[in-house]
Amino acid sequence: MSDAMLTIEGVAKHFGEVSALSSIDLEISSGQVIGLVGGNGAGKTTLLRLMAGVMEPSSGDVLFRGKPVSSMRAKLGVVPESTGLYSRLTAWENIRYHSRMFGIDDTVAWNRTSHFAKRLDLSDSLSRHTKGFSRGMRQKTALLRALAHGPDILLLDEPTAGLDVTSARTVRTLVRQLRDEGGTVIYSTHHLAEAQQVCDRIIIVHNGTIRADGSPNDLLELTECSNLEDAYVALTSDKARARTEEPRSESKLARWWKVFLTGRTPDTVGGDDDE
């Protein structure tokens, strides 16, 4: 049995006839920052959701220390791209709600939150309602919420998307500090420069498959390129797939009727996450 913390074995994920991920095999060990890098629609968010146990794979297994990850969610800390904060609650109430769900005593959660809030420069805002929070403050609060119960692994979906330079740097610094303290972070991004700065290991996801997996230097050696951007282009040179494909059997009239009735275009079938 391997000493991997998170194991993904032969995982595929389909939404109807659309294949979001196929033949994914990964092992994630502790004490690393792992970057999931890929363009929009590549499958990063779906892969993260499988790792977070909120989705079940169509085939294959996602295991946390040998057990199905869906039964081990208490060991995970997740920051989805939408942050998911309740605007009528204060930042601390948002954090406390989640920590109580994880069975953590309020005092313990508060101490952990205070500790990380100082690093993220958010201590003064913990008692404020999150309604007026900036994107950066929301992201930081979501991070504090994910850390409050002391997870073994942190899953971050585009944690710096939409953040100003200072906030993005603060988040990246915290991620590195967590790694230095022995933590494990899986970090989804489509910024190569950011991945290079933060990640020990980069997994390039493209068209629902893993194109490369290794340290930034490994990727450069593999592609014989001088920088990661060129390496990424070389590894993903085939055309990115359309986000979804509509089944051919549906008539034009049926498609028009569906769009008329639902107001949604057919390409939302497989999910509208920013993959």
Positions in the binding site for other proteins (CB under 8 A): 15, 49, 52-56, 73-74, 76, 78-80, 82-89, 93, 97-98, 100-103, 142, 145, 264, 268, 270-273
228 contacts 220 by C-beta, under 8 angstroms: yes
Give me the least distance between CB of 185 and other proteins, in Å please. 15
Give the C-alpha separation, 56 to 265, whole Å.
25
Beta bridge partners of 151: none
Judged by beta carbon, residue 77 or residue 216, the one nearer other proteins is: 77
Give me the least distance between CB of 224 and other proteins, in Å please. 38
Give me the least distance between CB of 20 and other proteins, in Å please. 9
Judged by beta carbon, residue 83 or residue 167, the one nearer other proteins is: 83
Buried b (16+ CB within 10 A) or exposed e, 8-45: beebbbeeeebbbbbebebebeeebbbbbbbbebbbbb
C-alpha closest to that of 126 among 110, 150, 149 = 110
Judged by beta carbon, residue 100 or residue 128, the one nearer other proteins is: 100
Give me the least distance between CB of 193 and other proteins, in Å please. 27
Give me the least distance between CB of 86 and other proteins, in Å please. 6
Token pair of 60 as six digits = 């294959």
201 contacts 32 by C-beta, under 8 angstroms: yes
Token pair of 86 as six digits = 């309740």
Judged by beta carbon, residue 147 or residue 212, the one nearer other proteins is: 147
Judged by beta carbon, residue 101 or residue 108, the one nearer other proteins is: 101
Judged by beta carbon, residue 48 or residue 204, the one nearer other proteins is: 48
48 contacts 77 by C-beta, under 8 angstroms: no
Token pair of 98 as six digits = 């989640």
Give me the least distance between CB of 156 and other proteins, in Å please. 12
